[in-house]
Amino acid sequence: MSMEIELGYGNEEIKLSLPEKQILHVIEGNHVDAVADIPAAVKAALTNPIGTPPLNQIVKKGDKVSIIASDITRAWVRNDLFLPPLLDELNAAGIPDSDITLVVALGAHRHHTPEENISTYGQEVVDRIHIEQSYALDADNFEKVGTTSRGVDAYVCKAVTQANKVILTGGIVYHLMAGFGGGRKSIIPGVSAYSSIQGNHSLCLHEVVGQGVSPSCISGKLSGNNMHEDLMEIAAMVNPAFLLNVVLTPEGKFAKFVAGHWQDAWLEGCRAVEEIFGVPITAKADLVIGSAGGFPKDINLYQGSKTIDNAYMAVKEGGVIILLLECRDIKEPPDFSGWFDIESLYERELALRKGFTVPGFIALKCGTIAKQVSLIVVTLPQNKEFISKAGMIPAASLEEAIAIAEQKLGTKDYTVTVMPHAANTVPVFKG
């Protein structure tokens, strides 16, 4: 018996047919019903929080409140849908709009335009409250709140440190460095100075120079994750008063709102993400075939890196991964693709230690994975040279990729795991 599976590739679907006896797992996210009434769900979360009294007992009349909100690069969070109910709850607790500031968590991303503030937060929010942008390179806008046990000096935006109450908002997803996004990441990198971001993110590199990336800074891992633990120390220095984070369905709608203590409520959200997107597997496969899910998730190799990282968690040591990544904009963004001009992984690592960037780290990690397993990329013909330079094997079709994989494995008797939406789903192996 054969199993047919459709895999996204750009705007197309590619059909994969495999004998059922070869297939170990087909990894898909778990179904969850989307929130039907968003304002009601937000209010319920704010009035029945995790680990704190309700929001209306946390704030009091006269407080200056800063709400930290994700920037336009996290548009999927849909700030415009949950911020108005949050503002209404603050108003009802005696905090007028004039005492509320929205702090845009740019990290080191560029400033928003006024139009982007509207598209990200909605016209109502822009009209109601003051908005300040925290840009990591504006050194005068930050003040030191402490130094972590790992020696990172924590500089946080004054619009946050000088508020009476700080509320974190954002979305929780798997994060390939910090374990999970959301929560404390609103503070750093969100509203922290560039030197602090650099110091924290560099903890993702191995403690020993020449060993590349840290094996502890991976998706789904919190305990022993140096970057995450450092993030938590810095967030504790700020001591946010409250948190409101979102968890999504596989279709990108709201699955759940978590609210309350900045750590306890966030951890509950992480557990929800694990239940939806963390898929248990009983064994690792000789061959993993993964699709990002089509456009725009496979618009370039930078976006496709999430697929590489997740597929790697399902493959045996020395195995093969086939990736369906159209990559119509293969060299975008330049601050990622340029790192592959440094062919030596050791030199790439040294350059990162001098000036850490997330795109550079992902380029190093992709190169490291390509050294450990064979990465075969089904992509557009014009991408052949770039894919080869990245240490991967280009293929013009799925059939060609499978033929190469069988040659690499040296047999036609091998196990397969298929990941139709590998950009979002994380294999969880309890081995």
What ranges in 147-263 are assigned the alpha helix state H? 158-161, 194-201, 226-238
Distance of CA 220 to the CA centre of its chain: 11
Give me the sign of the Cα torsion angle 214, 216, 222, 225: negative
For 172, phi then psi, to 5°, come to -105, 125
Which residues are known to be catalytic? 109, 175
What ranges in 21-113 are assigned the alpha helix state H? 38-47, 55-58, 79-92
Given strand 416-419, what is the order of strands in its sheet? 23-26, 416-419, 285-291, 315-324, 374-378, 393-395
**Residue 283 CB contacts under 8 Å (≥ 6 apart), including other chains:** 24, 415, 429, 431
Structure tokens at 73: 């690069």
Q: Helix or strand or coil: residue 186?
A: helix
CA atoms of 108 and 188, how far apart (whole Å)? 10
Structure tokens at 27: 């990894």
Which among 179, 139, 131 has a CA at the least distance from the CA of 155?
Answer: 139
